[in-house]
Amino acid sequence: MIWNRDAECEAVEQRRLLQGYQLKKQVTHLYEKVPFYRKKMDDLGVTPGDINSIEDIGKLPFTTKDELRETYPYGLLACPEEDLVEIHTSSGTTGTPVLGGYTRADLDMWGEVMARCIGMCGGTPSDVVQNAYGYGMFTGGLGVHHGAQKMGCNTIPAASGNTKRQLMLMRDFKSTILTCTPSYALYMAEEAKEMGIDFRDLHLKAGVFGAEPWSDNMRKEIEEKLNLQAYDIYGLTEIIGPGVSNECEAHHGLHVNEDHFYPEIINPETGEVLPEGEKGELVFTSLTRQGTPIIRYRTRDITYLWHDKCSCGRTLVKMHRLLGRTDDMLILRGVNVFPSQIENVLMQIEETQPHYQIVIDRDRSQLDEVELQVEVEEAFFSDETKELERIRAKIAQAMKQELQINVNIKLVEPKSIERSMGKAKRVIDKRNL
Ligand code: DLL
């Protein structure tokens, strides 16, 4: 279902005019109300008068995660504190959180973009959405909740965890759409098997999976195990939470809700804006947000953008599923590799389970070294070292062939890698960088 045809299918040129108008309005407001932005613009010698169309966005300064942390909690607030009706934070791995503040209008906008995403996954008001993202400060739970309710779906706030109950809810309330991280979806499949529940007897038609990296091959695995169509949803606390972009039924890129979040791709080293189709760091500007809008936020996420005539009829620009992050790229003997590429190769090996961890360390000569710990399918896990050696060599060879890297493979017992109900920790970095 196309939730908002006017916005999602609008002529591209028309949308650009609107984006230009919103940008000017936003920048003028931030220049007047937020000293942080005024100073940054003054330092660059830019005033709101210089912003007259969306093409002028390149004149504006970038904002980084460090700056968001330095201004925590309310340094970037662009509305009176009493206008806030909800806040979320994302803690990341390094301590000081980043704040997302929402006014009433922001919550409406969040619900709107999330409802669009559910529509892109084939959702309609008659669906039953089982929301197994974490509720709380994390944006996943409440963000999806606002959208599902906006659409008029029966919304089950299952939250993450309590997997047995999760499966019972799914059965009893005939849930048709499951929303959770892809790693949690896999965990549910495993539990279901143990409980003797077959997904073919349930009613799920779609899964809205995101918040962590996953690969196309992981998608196939999930679709088979959960008997549904899996859709990729992307978002981040700094911009709104879930709802920034989503795959449609074409499963060919994620449509960005660009009338609210304007995307650019830059060269992460030079900051230069790259043309459509080129890979680089994704940057977002909040065009309509009131609480904590951000100008040219450097996400560190890597992807590329393109326009095409999508079979779904939407004209919203597309982003490729994330290719990695500027801060998780590994350089192994001179070859750049992202953990998701390792996952993609691994998912093609039938003897292994989709549960793995990548451990990075430095060897004696200070070169990066990667160990891939992966669970072996129960049926293949035998005491016969010869058989395990064959599987190990097969994975190592596939890595070498497809990624040109040597990876040490460690096969581990089924169920020995910790399961995740939220964002899985796939990479363990033991280097002291
Ligand atoms: O993860 C928001 C969200 C909730 C998105 C539910 C989708 C579903 P943060 O906790 O702030 O927000 O983390 C944002 O997670 O910059 C990406 O690096 C990563 N990420 C989010 N979605 C995807 C995805 C939420 N579909 C950070 N694929 C982002 C890969 C993703 N990585």
Residue-level pLDDT at 213: 93
CA distances from 362 to 232, 330, 335, 371, 431 (A): 34, 12, 15, 11, 6
State yes or no: pLDDT of 336 exceeds 90: no
Question: Nearest CA to 411 among 371, 368, 367, 360?
Answer: 371
State yes or no: pLDDT of 429 exceeds 90: no
Q: Please classify residue 172 by burial: count the beta carbons closer than 10 Å to its beta carbon, then call 0-12 exposed, 13-18 middle and 19+ buried.
A: exposed
Cβ of 233 closer than 6 Å to ligand 1, yes or no, is yes
Cβ of 141 closer than 6 Å to ligand 1, yes or no, is no
Tokens in use for 31? 């220049």
**Predicted confidence (pLDDT) per residue in 90-99, tens digit:** 976 567 899 9
Residue-level pLDDT at 426: 92
CA distances from 5 to 119, 122, 247, 248, 363 (A): 11, 14, 16, 14, 55
> Average of pLDDT values for 339-349?
92
| Residue owning tokens 């990341």 | 92
Residue whose CA lies nearest to ligand 1 atom number 29: 236
Separation of alpha carbons 392 and 371, rounded Å: 12
Cβ of 127 closer than 6 Å to ligand 1, yes or no, is no
Instruction: Decide whether 1-326 matches 330-432 in CATH topology.
Output: no
Question: Which residue ranges make up each domain of the chain?
Answer: 1-326, 330-432
Residue whose CA lies nearest to ligand 1 atom number 13: 236
Cβ of 232 closer than 6 Å to ligand 1, yes or no, is yes
Separation of alpha carbons 317 and 160, rounded Å: 31
State yes or no: pLDDT of 433 exceeds 90: no
Cβ of 216 closer than 6 Å to ligand 1, yes or no, is no
Question: Nearest CA to 238 among 100, 133, 91, 113?
Answer: 100
Amino acid at 185: A
SS3 category, 232? strand
Q: What is the CATH number of domain 1-326?
A: 3.40.50.12780
Give 401's pLDDT tier (boundaries 50, 70, 90): very high
SS3 category, 264? strand
> Average of pLDDT values for 309-336?
91
**Predicted confidence (pLDDT) per residue in 247-284, tens digit:** 999 999 999 999 999 999 999 999 999 999 999 999 99
| Residue owning tokens 């993609």 | 344
Q: What is the CATH number of domain 330-432?
A: 3.30.300.30
Cβ–Cβ under 8 Å, residues 175 and 144: no
Mean pLDDT of the chain: 95
> Average of pLDDT values for 98-119?
98
**Predicted confidence (pLDDT) per residue in 135-177, tens digit:** 999 999 999 999 999 999 999 999 999 999 999 999 999 999 9
Cβ of 235 closer than 6 Å to ligand 1, yes or no, is yes
Question: Nearest CA to 250 among 310, 318, 298?
Answer: 310
State yes or no: pLDDT of 380 exceeds 90: no
SS3 category, 144? helix
Neighbours of 61 (CB within 10 A): 17
CA distances from 171 to 63, 161, 177, 324, 375 (A): 45, 16, 12, 35, 29
Give 389's pLDDT tier (boundaries 50, 70, 90): very high
Amino acid at 58: G
Residue whose CA lies nearest to ligand 1 atom number 28: 213
Cβ of 293 closer than 6 Å to ligand 1, yes or no, is no
What atom of ligand 1 comes closest to residue 325's alpha carbon? 18
**Predicted confidence (pLDDT) per residue in 66-90, tens digit:** 999 999 999 999 999 999 999 999 9
What backbone phi and psi angles, to 5 degrees, belong to 349? -95, 115
Residue-level pLDDT at 268: 97
**Which of 114, 131, 256, 322 for mutating ligand 1's site (highest number of atoms within 8 Å of CB)?**
322
The region that residue 160 occupies, defined by phi over 0 for left and psi between -120 and 50 for alpha, beta otherwise, is: beta
Cβ–Cβ under 8 Å, residues 233 and 143: no
* Buried b or exposed e, range 70-85, using 16+ CB within 10 angstroms: ebeeeebbbbeeebbe
